[in-house]
Amino acid sequence: MKKYLLLLFVTVISSTGNSSFAQTKLIKKLFSNDTDTSRSSSFIPLPVLGYAQEKGLELGVATLYSFYTDHKDTLTRASRLNGIATFTTKSQSNFQLKSDIWAPGNTYHYLSEIRYRNFPFNFYGTGNGTLKANEDRITQKLFRLNVGVEKKLGRITYTGLSAGYDNYRFTDKVAGGIYSTDASITDRDGGQVFFVGVSQILDNRNSNIYTTSGSYLKLNYSYAPDFFGGDNYHGGMFKADLRSFKSLSKKLVIGANGLFHTIGSGSTPFYMLPQLGNDEMMRGYYTGRYRDENLLALQAELRLRLNPRFGFVGFAGTGTVYGNSNFKAADLKPSLGGGFRYFFDIEKGLSIRMDYALGEKKSGEKRQKGFYLSLGESF
């Protein structure tokens, strides 16, 4: 079982130089409840120290840089660059850079992701009923490049185009586990996929960072041509993401989020199947513990912002993965938890998020659970 130690240290850079004025401004930026109306940029690094038997000691840093492409137009949304880089004492590494950029007037929305990952993970098989006893440790090498652009065509409507390329490679260090013996697993050594997609978005949220009112709906269909042959995936993928928010009082907001993912047919490679559980949806579940051709998940979150700097949340959700034409309401799994928020950028609503979540308790197994330290809200 993995054991993690996370070290949190926050630094916000809002000015240059070593003057006492700059130091005073930094302290004020970190702890004052005053809102910065200058629409300045902000940067935060989040060093991480971790340990697990299969990877040894892990050292790295996650960063978030936030800025506006138009400082004068108060309706232009905040843009973000997120990065992460970690290394382990067993020669493993993980790099990721994501961009989320809003053009002046929100006329265009640009998205991109580049990622390289050489890391172990636990594989349990496919389906909604996998067992802890079948845990099989696999090493994954992943290279990913995704790009997308969305154009505003109406007051709250956007239409987008996207393209992406993934290259997966897997190694099973210990033969005899479910990964090497399960005959239903397709393309177990890995493969590659290129896809193009189109999206339709409805978005009237009052903020894309910390939303207190409004709704968001994104429908995306992507198609992967048969460029690479063999067991490499080719076919369609569909995703729907619905979010809605309402202020119950000046300090209290309720939000709801629904996700639906579906892909392919019975010959889909295992690494392309939707996976249940991460730090944004179905918290409390190890990512990949359950995977199948379809994913359906719902969650609600109650957010209490005690003052401009600190807040608390409580959340509950349910979800499942299932094969085509095999959905059962009885298979829905619970997710329940709470968390703390420290808003390092009051004006934008950017926060450090600390959540603890509980999942299901299967017979003969310990209850599934998880602790999450992240930058920004879950949805």
For the chain, domains (ranges, CATH) are 20-375 (2.40.160.50)
Residue 283 has pLDDT above 80, yes or no: yes
Residue 49 has pLDDT above 90, yes or no: no
Is residue 64 within 8 A of residue 82, CB to CB? The reply is yes
Is residue 188 within 8 A of residue 168, CB to CB? The reply is no
Average pLDDT estimate for 100-110: 98
Give the pLDDT confidence of 150-200 residue by residue, as tens digits: 999 999 999 999 999 999 999 997 888 999 999 888 899 999 999 999 999
Quote the Cα angle for 261-255-67, to 5°: 85
Q: Confidence band (pLDDT; 50, 70, 90) for 14?
A: very low
Average pLDDT estimate for 14-32: 53
Give the pLDDT confidence of 201-210 residue by residue, as tens digits: 999 999 999 9
| Amino acid symbol at 343 | F
Residue 146 has pLDDT above 90, yes or no: yes
Residue 13 has pLDDT above 80, yes or no: no
Tokens 């040894």 belong to which residue?
Answer: 56
Average pLDDT estimate for 41-64: 85
Average pLDDT estimate for 87-95: 92
Residues 81 and 122: their CA atoms lie apart, in Å, by 29
Average pLDDT in the chain: 90
- Lowest mean pLDDT of 45-59, 81-95, 302-316, name the range: 45-59
Residue 15 has pLDDT above 50, yes or no: no
Phi/psi region, residue 95 (left: phi>0; alpha: psi -120 to 50; beta: rest), is: beta
Residue 11 has pLDDT above 50, yes or no: no
Residue 55 has pLDDT above 90, yes or no: no
Average pLDDT estimate for 367-379: 94
Q: Confidence band (pLDDT; 50, 70, 90) for 254?
A: very high
Q: Confidence band (pLDDT; 50, 70, 90) for 47?
A: confident
Q: What is the pLDDT of residue 23?
A: 52
The predicted model scores a pTM of 0.89
**118: nearest Cα among 136, 100, 144:** 144
Q: What is the pLDDT of residue 266?
A: 66
Q: Dihedrals φ, ψ of 252, to 5°? A: -120, 130
> Which residues neighbour 17 within 8 Å (Cβ) at sequence distance 6 or greater?
none
Percent of the chain with pLDDT over 90: 79
Q: Confidence band (pLDDT; 50, 70, 90) for 50?
A: confident
Tokens 């390289």 belong to which residue?
Answer: 116
